[in-house]
Amino acid sequence: MQKVIRSWLSLFTLLSCTGVMAAASKEATEEPLLTLGWVEHAHLIEPNYPLKAKLDTGAKTSSLDARIIKAFRQYGKRWVRFAVQNPKTGEETILVRERVRTIGIVQHEGESEVRPTVNIEICLAGQHRDIEVSLVDRENFTYPLLLGRRALKHIAIVHPGETFMSDQSCENVTEETKSSPKPSSKESPGEEDDKEQTIDETEAAGENEKSGNAEERSDKQLDNPA
Please name the helix (run of DSSP H) or strand (run of DSSP E) that holds residue 115, with its range, or none: strand 112-124
- Mean pLDDT of all residues in the chain? 80
Q: Is the pLDDT of residue 219 over 60?
A: no
Where does the pLDDT of residue 107 fall: very low under 50, low under 70, confident under 90, or very high at 90 and above? confident
Residues 6+ apart with CB under 8 A from 29: none
Q: Is 82 left (phi over 0), alpha (psi -120 to 50) or beta?
A: beta
Q: Is the peptide bond before 47 cis (omega within 30 degrees of 0)?
A: yes
> By C-alpha distance, which of 133, 135, 145, 129 is closest to 114?
135
For range 74-87, the mean pLDDT: 95
185-190, long-range: CB within 8 Å, 24+ apart, which pairs?
185/81, 185/94, 185/95, 185/96, 186/94, 187/81, 188/74, 190/74
Convert the pLDDT of each residue in 154-198 to its tens digit: 999 999 999 999 999 887 665 553 445 677 777 777 788 887 667
**Which domains, from first to last, does the chain contain?**
34-173+189-221 (2.40.70.10)
What pLDDT is stored for residue 200 in this prediction?
Answer: 78
| More confident position, 211 or 1 | 1
Where does the pLDDT of residue 215 fall: very low under 50, low under 70, confident under 90, or very high at 90 and above? very low
Q: 3-state class of 19 per DSSP?
A: helix
